[in-house]
Each structure stands twice: as structure tokens, then as C-alpha cells.
Amino acid sequence: MRDLAWGIAATGGIARTVGAVIAAEPGMRVAAVGSRDLGRAKALAATLGAGSAHGSYAELCADPAVDAVYVATPHAQHLEVAEAAIAAGKAVLCEKPLAATVADAERMVRLAREAGVFLMEAMWTRFSPLIRMLAADERFGEIRSVRAAFGFAHPYDPAHRLWAPELGGGALLDLGIYPMGLAQLFLGQPESMSFTGSLAPSGVDAEAGGLMRYPGGARALVECSLLAGYANDASVVGTGMRADIDAPFWAPRRVVLSRPGMEPEEHVLGDPAENGYAGELREVRDCLARGRTESEVMPLDESLAMMRLLAEARAQLR
């Protein structure tokens, strides 16, 4: 089976990071890089050993040497790139959140399903070996509580993508999706939720905290902030056992399991490179090899459900 040839859309930090993982992963290579700035595309292409560089995302998606497109643009541009890739029949791995709005995400999923083209949200936490281990551990019993927070202080700059509404800025879309995503993995869809927080001068959410309620009284306490630093750890508590997840909980290197009468059980990530990025890339490759157009690990319906939860949380802050 020939190498899976990737096209990388954008040249920012996450594009460089994931591009390096692709270049190092057996059975994969970076075939092309696309950017609105051809010079930046050429520079990253040279770094990653890609054969082509394009000065537009449309050209990247049309490149016959590309099998799959990794979308690493700001959130508000996800639909544009994914739509072009889907129209060209390219598999799409799109950075989280899937889109900047529910409507954009719904359109992406509809287009992919109608065309029979693979689409997956690049939620690397779902592919963390330690998180997957926890999700499969039946010793938890019934999950009663999830607690997670992600926050750091970022200088306010209305032109920066984190603060600019036209780029899909705000704490919830960039950071809140991680604690909410952990709750989604362990508890599913909430029956209700209550969020509070504050807005930046640009109008995007600067911080948010929420209580999410689930059937039978289970709950999740989630927080995110662009104004202050948090411990960035998490816990999952069940009737049979609890897990304390070290920071950064979205890509942990250590978790500790405990319960009454049990010596704490420590699990450490053996290979730091197995941080979730490689896992999501392998999932794309394996799904394509099996002829699947959706992932069972990160289903599109769950990506859509998360977009709706994020939209509701953002609306409650206003």
C-alpha cells in the first residue's frame, strides 16, 4: 500500500506541529502545503520535505498528488477549505472545532456525506493512549462527575485570532471544547447546562464556566479562560473508581487511578510522541483503508453535538 499523501492547509504553529508528525509517521508523507502566502507555503514545504507549495487553498485541494487534506486554518476558514477538499474528493482531517458556527459544521458534514468523502474533526484528546485507556476501563462503574479546566492568560489583541470574532475567536471555541469534550466522552449529551463568564471588548467570550447536567444527576464542571492560568488538570469520578489526570489533561502523560482499599495505580505515557496527533492521523489512514467515510472514535454526529453545545454556552454568556 502506497504512502498516504497529505496536503496541509495553513502554515501556523499547529500546521507545523502536525506536519512534522506526518513526515515522521511510517506510511505517510507531506505531499504539498497550501497558504494564502506562497512564500510561507514554500518555506513549510521545504521544512517538511513536501514536493509542492500552493498560494491558495483551492490549488492545494486540486493537487492530484494529495490524498487527504489537513485543515489547520483559523476556525472561520474551515468550511472554505473543507468544501474545496470534499469537492475534489480528498479526505479531510479538520482541526477542532469542526467549524466556527453550527451552520458551517452542518454544511461540512452534509457535503461530506453526500459525496461519500471521509471527514473527521482533529480532536486529538480522543486519540490519546491514556484517555482511550480510561474510556475503556469498566472499573469506573457509573460515571458521576467530570471536572476539567483549561486556561491561560493571553494578552488582549483584537486582531489576534483568539480575540477576533471574524476569525472564530473566544475561549470556548479554542479552549472550552477540551473540558466539554472530556465530559462528552465520559458522560455523553447533557440534559441541560448553565454557563457564566465574561466577554472581551471585541465581543468574544474571554472566560466561561459551566455546570452540565446529565441523566440520573451526573454532572460535569468545566471552565476555560483567556484571562487567567488554571491547573489544566482533570478528574473523572465513578461509583467504582476515580481518575486524576495530570496537566495537560487533553494530552496527558500521567494518570492516577484510585478507589477505597486500592493502592493508587499510576499510568505513564511510555512514548511522548504518542500524544494523540499520530493517533488521529492513523485513524484517517485506517478508515480510508477500510473504505469508511466516518470515524467511530470521533463520530461526526458527536462533532455536531459539540458545536451545538458550544453555541448554547456562548449564547448564555450574552
Q: How far apart (Å, rounded) are the C-alpha atoms in residues 152 and 309?
A: 22
Contact 98, 111 (CB under 8 A): no
Selection from 124, 171, 128 nearest residue 150 by Cα? 171
Contact 224, 208 (CB under 8 A): yes
3-state secondary structure 153-180: CCCCCCCCCCCCHHHCCCHHHHHHHHHH
Considering the candidates 96, 126, 285, 314, report the single residue annotated as catalytic: 96
- Mark whether 90 is an active-site residue: no
Angstrom CA distances, 169 to 80, 164, 196, stand at 17, 5, 17
Q: How far apart (Å, rounded) are the C-alpha atoms in residues 206 and 199?
A: 5
Q: How far apart (Å, rounded) are the C-alpha atoms in residues 268 and 98?
A: 30
* Cβ atoms < 10 Å from Cβ of 246: 18
Backbone angles phi, psi at 220, to 5 degrees: -135, 135
Q: Which residues are catalytic?
A: 96
